[in-house]
């Protein structure tokens, strides 16, 4: 069947098969599913596949074009690296999610119509929540329920927006939407879709589900979660809202505020989760600019970010796996016994910092150039500042406080071989594509624009070296002067405090108030019904007025009176 060409279907079917396989066979089967899906995808020509008829509407299950192709390729790479990295995982549910979750993300980026997108959108939410539930503790259960509620809310908004868009356009094709009409007023249907995409993209004030849920998953679960959900949303924004000006300022703010939270955060898992918000911000800016250069940069940077951010998560995860902690105050000095993990972590840190010769450098520059081409000076300056901030919190803080900051006294073993293999592949991709970016550039959607682009010009190199040099200098000065935020055991408050503390109290008050009102209404209703029952019993009961025995003469007189009244009324009318 042509619709089975969709990798999302292949992954999903494979995921259900894993539930019935022994642990030893399961991991080989998972790699075989990924390899089979990659082979099928490699042989596919660009075009639409699997058109289905539903209630007179045509659904395009698979739209394989230049935009979706890039995401499908990198999702396959990430899924394979996750399986290799988690080779030791025997948990049946986590193995199921390791295929079903990437499959849902791939199904979403290949969806050619809104209903197919909605189905995969919700599948991504449902299959990913099992990763948050993985450790099976009360805290993870509560985080998973909050995560699921937010993701389902995104789906509900998406479905409502789809209904309104279909009512206006009469089409279910997943195409670009206009957030505003010609008069400048907001279109309500596209606005709901925009918010739904924004929730999954972790827009400002809608972002805390990332820091709340991702760190509570298992080590491998956190790595998987870091890849697919937000990047599916980035694809959806690129498909549906490229050139929407509101995204420029939203994205710019996204690049800024996570830096400050990451600098004061003690939990290094959360530091990288804030990094996700920051990195997606760069992509959102590129999509908002909407030019060929900027969109190329946004989706190219999404490709690169999946690789080097995963590498950072994997290297930190290896340290956590060996030491049992992700706290900066409890790590440090472990480079002595984990030199390979440390080296691979540094490669990821250099790449996320866009150091020349790495994957981050050859992709982020496209976004910044796209902003410069549109003469958005303030946004350009914000992105430069945010790039320096990336070096501070992800490029320096993660490797420095994990491996070097102070001697924690821990002397753990080197990471297991399967983790080193996965990290090694990621590092090779970071450096290989950084030195030779042409294969990645060949996947970008606007080939005419990328044809003449050269990342290693003197301007780009000087600009980036200056930026990196001053960022490193700032870190050294702040460290030496004691102004750099100290790593102390603490809980940092973010916007989610508003709905987790006063919000929870308000919800409790609402529930109590509704319950009180319900009991009041119910009690009054019961009393009213009892009064009605007593009245009916008084009238119609065995001793009631209508149940008495009346004399025949009286009844004859009563009938004559009624008949007389009826005759008079008839005569008068």
3-state secondary structure 372-398: HHCCCHHHHHHHHHHHHHHHHHHHHHH
- The pLDDT, as a whole number, for residue 545 is 61
Which is it for the CA torsion 196, 282, 300, 313, positive or negative?
Answer: negative
Answer whether residue 163 shows pLDDT above 60. Answer: yes
Answer whether residue 93 shows pLDDT above 70. Answer: yes
Tokens found for residue 317? 């995860």
The phi and psi torsions of 162 (rounded to 5 degrees) equal: -60, -45
Q: How far apart are CA 282 and CA 446, in angstroms?
A: 18
Kind plus residue range of the DSSP H or E element containing 422? helix 417-435
pLDDT in tens, 194-204: 999 999 999 98
Region of residue 47 (left: phi > 0; alpha: psi -120 to 50; beta: else): left
Answer whether residue 2 shows pLDDT above 60. Answer: no
The b/e string for 531-558 (b: 16+ C-beta within 10 A; e otherwise) is eeeeeeeeeeeeeeeeeeeeeeeeeeee
What are the CA-CA distances from residue 70 to residues 300, 302, 361, 440 (Å)? 8, 9, 18, 8
Task: Find all residues with CB under 8 Å of 420, minimum gap 6, and list them.
Answer: 318, 340, 341, 344, 414
- The pLDDT, as a whole number, for residue 570 is 79
Burial class (CB in 10 A: 0-12, 13-18, 19+), 154: buried
User: Between 460 and 548, where is the model more confident?
Assistant: 460
From 40-44, 58-62, 491-495, 524-528, the region with the lowest mean pLDDT: 491-495
CB 365 within 8 A of CB 297: yes
Answer whether residue 152 shows pLDDT above 90. Answer: yes
Region of residue 459 (left: phi > 0; alpha: psi -120 to 50; beta: else): alpha
From 166-175, 350-359, 520-529, 533-542, the region with the lowest mean pLDDT: 533-542
- The pLDDT, as a whole number, for residue 547 is 63
From 76-85, 314-323, 519-528, 544-553, the region with the lowest mean pLDDT: 544-553
From 248-257, 314-323, 431-440, 459-468, the region with the lowest mean pLDDT: 459-468
From 129-138, 241-250, 461-470, the region with the lowest mean pLDDT: 461-470
What are the CA-CA distances from residue 385 to residues 285, 290, 363, 464 (Å)? 14, 22, 17, 12
pLDDT in tens, 342-387: 999 999 999 999 999 999 999 998 999 999 999 999 999 999 999 9
- The pLDDT, as a whole number, for residue 4 is 52
CA 74 to centroid of chain Cα atoms: 16
Average per-residue pLDDT in the chain?
89
Answer whether residue 27 shows pLDDT above 50. Answer: yes
The phi and psi torsions of 19 (rounded to 5 degrees) equal: -65, -20
Answer whether residue 536 shows pLDDT above 70. Answer: yes
From 236-250, 268-282, 395-409, 467-481, the region with the lowest mean pLDDT: 467-481
Question: Half-sphere exposure of 432 toward its Cβ, with a 13 Å CA cutoff?
Answer: 9
Tokens found for residue 195? 């918010």
Question: Half-sphere exposure of 511 toward its Cβ, with a 13 Å CA cutoff?
Answer: 6
- The pLDDT, as a whole number, for residue 110 is 94
The phi and psi torsions of 472 (rounded to 5 degrees) equal: -65, -45
Most confident of the following: 267-271, 466-470, 553-557: 267-271
Share of the chain above pLDDT 70, in %: 95
| Residue among 308, 326, 305, 353 nearest 410 (CA) | 326
- The pLDDT, as a whole number, for residue 1 is 43
CB 418 within 8 A of CB 84: yes
- The pLDDT, as a whole number, for residue 135 is 87
pLDDT in tens, 446-457: 988 887 788 998
From 9-13, 472-476, 520-524, the region with the lowest mean pLDDT: 472-476
pLDDT in tens, 42-69: 988 898 887 777 777 778 889 999 999 9
DSSP letters for 99-145: HHHHHHHHHHHH--BHHHHHHHHHHHHHHHHHHHTTT--HHHHHHHH
121 band by pLDDT with thresholds 50, 70 and 90: very high
From 12-21, 346-355, 498-507, the region with the lowest mean pLDDT: 498-507
- The pLDDT, as a whole number, for residue 573 is 64
Tokens found for residue 423? 């990290």
From 110-119, 257-266, 497-506, the region with the lowest mean pLDDT: 497-506
- The pLDDT, as a whole number, for residue 540 is 65
């Amino acid at each position: 069947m042509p619709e089975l060409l969709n990798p999302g279907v292949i992954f999903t079917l494979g995921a259900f098969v894993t539930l019935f396989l022994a642990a030893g066979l399961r991991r080989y089967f998972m790699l075989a599913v990924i390899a089979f899906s990659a082979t099928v995808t490699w042989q596919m020509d660009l075009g639409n596949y699997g058109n289905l008829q539903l209630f007179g509407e045509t659904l395009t299950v698979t739209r394989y074009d230049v935009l979706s192709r890039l995401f499908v390729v990198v999702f396959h790479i990430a899924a394979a690296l996750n399986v290799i990295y988690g080779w030791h995982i025997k948990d049946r549910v986590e193995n199921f999610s390791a295929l079903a979750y990437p499959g849902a993300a791939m199904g979403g980026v290949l969806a050619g119509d809104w209903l197919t997108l909605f189905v995969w959108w919700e599948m991504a939410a449902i299959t990913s929540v099992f990763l948050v539930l993985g450790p099976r503790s009360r805290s993870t259960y509560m985080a998973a329920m909050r995560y699921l509620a937010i993701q389902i809310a995104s789906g509900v908004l998406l479905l409502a927006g789809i209904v309104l868009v279909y009512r206006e356009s009469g089409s279910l094709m997943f195409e670009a939407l206009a957030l505003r009409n010609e008069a400048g007023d907001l279109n309500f249907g596209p606005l709901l879709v925009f918010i739904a995409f924004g929730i999954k993209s972790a827009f400002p004030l809608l972002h805390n589900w990332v820091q709340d849920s991702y760190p509570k998953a298992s080590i491998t679960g956190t790595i998987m979660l870091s890849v697919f959900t937000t990047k599916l949303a980035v694809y959806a924004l690129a498909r549906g809202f490229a050139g929407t000006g509101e995204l420029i300022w939203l994205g710019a703010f996204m690049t800024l505020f996570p830096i400050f939270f990451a600098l004061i955060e003690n939990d290094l898992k959360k530091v990288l989760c804030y990094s996700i918000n920051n990195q997606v911000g760069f992509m959102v800016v590129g999509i908002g600019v909407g030019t060929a250069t900027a969109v190329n940069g946004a989706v190219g940077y999404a490709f690169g970010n999946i690789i080097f951010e995963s590498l950072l998560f994997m290297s930190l995860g290896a340290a956590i796996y060996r030491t049992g902690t992700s706290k900066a105050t409890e790590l440090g000095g472990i480079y002595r016994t984990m030199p390979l993990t440390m080296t691979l972590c540094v490669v990821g840190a250099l790449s996320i910092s866009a150091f020349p010769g790495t994957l981050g450098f050859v992709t982020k520059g496209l976004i910044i150039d796209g902003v410069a081409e549109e003469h958005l000076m303030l946004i350009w300056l914000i992105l430069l500042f945010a790039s320096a901030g990336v070096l501070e919190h992800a490029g320096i803080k993660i490797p420095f406080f994990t491996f070097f900051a102070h001697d924690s006294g821990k002397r753990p073993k080197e990471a297991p071989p399967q983790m080193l293999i996965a990290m090694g592949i990621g590092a090779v991709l970071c450096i290989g594509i950084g030195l030779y970016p042409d294969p990645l550039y060949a996947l970008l959607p606007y080939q005419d624009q990328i044809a003449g682009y050269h990342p290693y010009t003197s301007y780009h190199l000087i600009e980036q070296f200056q930026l990196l040099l001053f960022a490193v200098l700032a870190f050294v000065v702040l460290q030496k002067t004691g102004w750099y935020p100290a790593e102390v055991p603490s809980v940092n408050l973010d916007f989610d405090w508003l709905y987790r503390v006063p919000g929870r109290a308000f919800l409790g008050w609402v529930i109590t108030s509704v319950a009180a009102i319900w009991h009041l209404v119910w009690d009054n209703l019961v009393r009213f019904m009892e009064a009605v029952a007593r009245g009916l019993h008084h009238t119609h009961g065995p001793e009631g007025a209508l149940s008495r025995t009346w004399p025949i003469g009286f009844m004859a007189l009563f009938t004559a009176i009624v008949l007389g009244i009826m005759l008079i009324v008839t005569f008068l009318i």
